[in-house]
Amino acid sequence: MADLDPAALRLRFADALEGARTPGGGPDPARYADDLLARWQEPQRKYHTVTHLAAVLDRIDLLAEHACDPDAVRLAAWFHDAVYLPERSENEERSAHLAERALTEAGVPGEKVAEVARLVRLTVTHDPADDDRDGQVLCDADLAILAAPPAAYAAYTAEVREEYHFVPNTAFRIGRSAILRQLLDLPHLFRTPYGRENWEPTARYNLGAELEMLSP
């Protein structure tokens, strides 16, 4: 179970930020962490919550050996759904812009800011290049919920449906089915060796079972 203690999460953000900039080379990390935590607790969120954030951070820690710059990946996790309105289609782009503004102000070098923003934008497709190790770690960590045990996967799908409560049932079924088929058509859902070995079979089973349930 991910640690949702705000103090522990603030410390995790501070560690990632200090790892990405010259130690002590900018403003206090706490105010940036507090702003992000407030965003992750907005009322329209049912799945994309602090619980999801903490779970993604835990998975990045698990996959860190596969990343070139684990701290950049961790910062990208903090920002990847920082702007989230289910009825809007540009959440990832707005989240990337937020990362660019906040991290520049926080003293992160421009090259690393650009990398974090690139990683945030990559979560639109979850399709990193074969040589994009940081992108592979972030995308695998974000998609690991697809390999959850049956009860947790069912809770995830229910929370996603609740976030899209404004979409009529037929339209939601059609849209969700298209997403599931797109994922199942990928040669690999997961790109890291750990993800392919430990998560791929269960994730494909879960996606196939959900798709069958959504079929009219």
- CATH numbers and ranges of domains, the chain: 6-145 (1.10.3210.10), 146-214 (no CATH)
Nearby residues of 23 by Cβ (< 8 Å), 6 or more positions away: none
Nearby residues of 34 by Cβ (< 8 Å), 6 or more positions away: 10
CA distance 151 to 2: 17
In contact, 66 and 141? CB cutoff 8 Å = no
CA distance 14 to 107: 12
CA distance 136 to 66: 8
Token digits of residue 115: 């990398």
pLDDT at 23: 78
CA neighbours closer than 13 Å in the CB half-sphere of residue 149: 1
CA distance 10 to 13: 5
pLDDT at 2: 64
How is residue 89 annotated by DSSP?
S
CA distance 45 to 102: 22
Whether the full predicted model's pTM is greater than 0.85, yes or no, is yes
Tens place of pLDDT for every residue, the chain, 216 residues? 566 899 999 999 999 999 999 877 789 999 999 999 999 999 999 999 999 999 999 999 999 999 999 999 999 999 999 999 999 989 999 999 999 999 999 999 999 999 999 999 999 989 999 999 999 999 999 999 999 999 999 999 999 999 999 999 999 999 999 999 999 998 999 999 999 999 999 999 999 999 999 987
CA distance 54 to 75: 12
How is residue 26 annotated by DSSP?
S
